[in-house]
Every structure is written in C-alpha cells, then in structure tokens.
Amino acid sequence: MHLINADLHSHSDISDGTLSPEALAERAHAQGVELWSLTDHDEVGGQQRARDAALALGMDYLTGTEISVSFAGETVHIVGLGFDADDAALQAGLAATRSGRRERARQMAAGLARAGIEGAFEGALRYVGNADLISRTHFARFLVDSGVCPDTHTVFRRYLTTGNPGYVPHQWARLRDAVRWVVGAGGVAVIAHPGRYRFTATEEYALITEFLAHGGLGMEVITGSHSAAEQIRYAETALEFGLLSSRGSDFHSPHESRTELGALPDLPGRLAPVWGALQHRIQRSRSGTARASDRAVRPRKPEMA
C-alpha cells in the first residue's frame, strides 16, 4: 500500500518559522509532501494562506496549530489537526494562550540585561513576523546574529532554558482546555514530540491518561525531534494506549531545522495514521493526485510476546 508523505508539523513566520506560509507550502510540495499542515504556535492566523497555497500546488491540507500547555511543571505541546479554524472558542483560547508572551519577553530581556546582554527585547522584535507571537526562538536568532552565541542550540542551552539568565517560567494553557478547544472545533488533538519532555514514567503516564480522558486521540511518533530509539519507543506507546500516530518534521527554517519538510521515515505499518481518522477534514485540491486514504482503522492490540 502506498503510504502518503504526510508532514503534519511545521512553522511559518506567523509564529517562529522564517518562511511565509506560501514559501513553506512551496517547499513542502517541492520536497514531495502530499498532505501538509501548518502548525504555528498558539495561532491560526496563517491557516487560510497555507490552505490556499497548498491547494493551488495540488497538495492536500489539514488545518493545524501547536498549543503551549503547562503540565506537571513542564511545557508540553499539543498539536491540533483538522479543526474548523473559524471556531470562536478555539480562537479565544489561542488568543488567551498568546497573551502573556510580550510581558514574558520583557522579563526575558531584563534577565539577559542582568547577564550583560542589552537590548534583547528590541533585538528579538526585529525577527518577529507577528507582534503577538514573540518567542524564545526570536531571542535565539538575535543572540546568534549579534555574535553572542554560535548557533541557536547554544543560545537555548546557555540562556533560554531553566536556570539560565533569559529563562522566565510561564503559565501556558491547561491540558484539558487545549484538548477541548481542538476537539470542540472538530479536530484531533495530538501529543507533540513526547520524547522531548523531561518526565518520569509516572508523569508521562499521567500526561497520556489525562490527555485521553479529555478526548485526545493522537501522538507524534515520527518527528524531527525523536531519535531512532524514541521512534521505536513511542510506536510502542501509541499501540499500548490505542493512540493514532502522527508524522511531522517540526520544520522552522532552512538554516536551523535538523529535519527537512517531508524527509522523515514512514510511520511503522502496524500504527494507525492520524490522517486516517481525518479523511473528512482533509481539504483536497481538485487537480491534486494525493488521496490520503491510508487505513482509517484503530491500532491493533499489542501483540503478546
């Protein structure tokens, strides 16, 4: 069976990516992506542009967003797919989630100033495509371009993570709310890059079971953030909990992203792709050849050893 090339996690300059939704659509199409989703952080402002660009290229489209959530002292990301982007409760929830970002950025800049780095708020703002969505990534770009650090990874390690001068703890959305906004708007909620969270086994179990209890259905198994071992581990987790599986590069920029759009391993064949459950939500181009018809089934029970 032909497994389609689905990339259901990427960022434009409406959040912390560097390409416009149109340029991202073109790049995804050129890389062979057949079903694409733009998943900007806490924002759906780019959805119409992304959809129009995708369909004009003959590429199928699912609406998307990546919601910042605070859970067990950690920031967790929930990707929403295939929702109605005009849904009022979803839009209000995302606006509330975004609303603290500017004040947080001022506090980050104050922390950096205490460490001897002046002007970081104005500096980061120069990289921002959407004034509502100033993120740590924009600070990282400023600190690299101004010569403070050699690359964004080093900026995060030295300045922008817990215990470092530019880190400011922040209260994001509640897990329950994020899942409800997506599900209420007709979409499917997906736990993004589960391998990235610094959770104990107990905390991870709590995350998954609460997520399921609120109506969450999916988990990213194949993502630019996972090592090969994590892909195997979370394939097992998806089977164990009966979760639908997703695949996405988390592409941000041609120069920064480790993983190119669409350039990921296929989902392991025994998993149920999340797009199987979203057939009715896929926006299809009339000229498009891609038909995302892969198995709309639930995962099988785990096999006994």
Q: Return the residue of 126, 153, 258, 300 that touches ligand AMP, per CB under 6 A.
A: 153
Q: How far is the CB of 136 from ligand AMP (least distance, A)?
A: 4
Q: Return the residue of 9, 27, 29, 41 that touches ligand AMP, per CB under 6 A.
A: 41
Secondary element (H or E) of residue 209: helix 201-213
Secondary element (H or E) of residue 74: strand 74-81
Q: Return the residue of 77, 101, 136, 138 that touches Mn ion, per CB under 5 A.
A: 77
Q: Which does 152 bind (CB under 5 to 8 A by kind): ligand AMP, Mn ion, none?
A: ligand AMP
Q: How many H helices and E strands in the chain?
A: 10, 8
Rounded CA-CA distance 265/245 in Å is 13
Residue window 161-200: x/- pattern of binding to Mn ion, with contact defined by CB under 5 A: -------------------------------x--------
Token code pair at residue 241: 């909990």
In residues, how long is the chain? 305
Q: Return the residue of 13, 16, 34, 60 that touches ligand AMP, per CB under 6 A.
A: 16
**205 Cβ partners below 8 Å, 6+ apart?**
none
**280 Cβ partners below 8 Å, 6+ apart?**
none
Encode 264-279: b = buried (16+ Cβ within 10 Å), e = exposed: beebeeebbbbbbbbe
Token code pair at residue 150: 């050699």
Nearest to 264 by CA among 11, 18, 34: 34
- Residue with the shortest CB distance to Mn ion: 77
Q: Which does 237 bind (CB under 5 to 8 A by kind): ligand AMP, Mn ion, none?
A: none
Nearer to Mn ion, 51 or 77 (CB): 77
By CB under 6 A, residue 249 contacts ligand AMP? no
Residue pair 15/9 in contact (Cβ under 8 Å)? The answer is no
Site stretch for ligand AMP (CB under 6 A), options 133-141, 213-221, 270-278, 283-291: 133-141
State which of positions 245-264 bind Mn ion (CB under 5 A). 250
Q: What is 176-189 written as a DSSP string?
A: HHHHHHHHHTT-EE
By CB under 5 A, residue 220 contacts Mn ion? no
Site stretch for ligand AMP (CB under 6 A), options 27-35, 149-157, 216-224, 276-284: 149-157
The contact set with ligand AMP (CB under 6 A) reads: 16, 41, 68, 135-137, 152-153, 156, 252
The contact set with Mn ion (CB under 5 A) reads: 16, 66, 77, 192, 250
